[in-house]
Amino acid sequence: MLIDFFFTLRDARLPVSVKEYLALLEALQKQVIGPSLDEFYYLARMTLVKDEKHFDKFDQAFGAYFNGISQALENHPEIPRDWLEQRLRRELTPEEKAKVEAMGGLDKLMERLKQLLDEQKERHQGGNKWIGTGGTSPFGNGGYNPEGIRIGGDGGNRSAVKVWDARAYRDYDDEVELGTRNIKIALRRLRKFARQGAAEELDLDDTIRSTAANAGWLDLKLVPERHNNVKVLMLLDVGGSMDDHIKRTEELFSAAKSEFKHLEFYYFHNCVYDWLWQENRRRHAERFPTWDVIRKYPPDYKVIFVGDATMSPYEILQPGGSVEYNNPEAGALWLRRFTDHFPRHAWLNPEPEGLWQYRQSVAIIRQLMGNRMFPITLAGLESAMRLLSK
């Protein structure tokens, strides 16, 4: 049975190896878990899944293979009582437990479930008897009954005795749009810790080593506290077509501010020209010459451009191409100055990667950035952070 389960995971594009599968079999042989599908789920996820970003794919594959209590009853009529009793103690209120006992207890409930499985031959929606969805029967999904047993589906009131296929990690797929928490996880790949400042933290290894060398007399060794030493300069496109990506850009910016202690940022519109600004409501009153920004920050800063790169090619390649004023030098020249001064740079694009091929300006920006353009997905951010950390 588990051979098929292994291939189900591989078909779901999970990076599961034979070595991990054998580790799972060894754990089962040594009976590290009881006869519980819940315990098997956690054991299988712990041994087979190496990265939390794959948790959702694992949940979907697991649910597709162990797809409901009904099939389990067809193949294994005896359901371990402890499965239901543990869930009962954990999920139900004292009043709901009393209702279960009033119906005759779990034995009566399971006997009735098996009877209905034998009698019912088709799907049922609503009602208070058959196994179906949206009703008040003790069996099914999407309805309500305090002493119920859930059969498949996503659940309704979440009061069932047994929940088989809850997906608690559905945000970790590589292709999903990101929330702030997931962006933080991806940005942490860029962190580089260094010890600077006063020596206030105990160095345990050095203390043991020096104490042993000092004939057992305690010799405390202190080191400076570790801090994230990465310095980031973020340049954000604002206005125009970027209005469609405000939410995702705000999430990225919020996550970056919380992850990087040394973060500087400026705004631009469409392409970088000879002026940048830090407050959009004062963009005309408080401008920073781009040359001053380049000279202000040393080359060890990592530069991250954020923009959809969607504009007329004329705005990038020609002087006077800006839609706001007559810029004396082309945006492409300013981008080249940035990439020459800051060797570690990347462009994050909120537009779906499948649309890039239809935007001539995107191809131009990618070429100017040395193909260092990445989508704002979990996989894209991880690739960008990996490149910047080199």
φ, ψ at 182 (rounded to 5°): -70, -35
- CATH 3.40.50 intervals, the chain: 230-388
CATH number assigned to the domain with residue range 230-388, chosen from the 4 options 3.40.1620, 3.40.50, 1.20.120, 3.30.1690: 3.40.50
Tokens of residue 227, six digits: 């801090």
pLDDT digit string (tens) for the chain, length 390 residues? 577 788 888 888 888 888 888 888 888 888 888 877 778 888 888 888 887 777 778 888 888 777 644 444 444 445 555 655 665 566 566 676 666 676 666 666 566 656 655 555 444 444 444 434 444 444 444 444 444 444 444 444 433 333 345 555 554 444 444 555 666 666 666 655 444 556 667 778 888 888 888 888 888 887 666 555 778 899 999 888 888 888 888 888 888 887 777 889 999 999 999 999 988 777 778 899 999 999 999 998 999 999 999 999 999 999 998 888 899 999 999 999 999 999 999 999 999 999 999 899 999 999 999 999 999 888 888 889 888 887
**Predicted pLDDT of residue 260:** 78
**Predicted pLDDT of residue 126:** 45
**Predicted pLDDT of residue 187:** 63
Dihedral sign (CA 88, 91, 92, 93):
positive
**Predicted pLDDT of residue 153:** 46
**Predicted pLDDT of residue 318:** 92
H/E element, 1: none
**Predicted pLDDT of residue 93:** 62
**Predicted pLDDT of residue 18:** 83
**Predicted pLDDT of residue 86:** 63
Q: What is the 3-state secondary structure (H, E, C) of 259-328?
A: HCCEEEEEEEECECCCEEECCHHHCCCCCEEHHHHHHHCCCCCEEEEECCCCCCHHHHHCCCCCCCCCCC
**Predicted pLDDT of residue 134:** 44
Helix, strand, or coil here: 130? coil
CA atoms of 278 and 269, how far apart (whole Å)? 12
**Predicted pLDDT of residue 160:** 30
Which ranges of 34-145 does DSSP label H, i.e. alpha helix?
37-48, 55-65, 69-75, 81-91, 94-102, 105-119
Helix, strand, or coil here: 379? helix
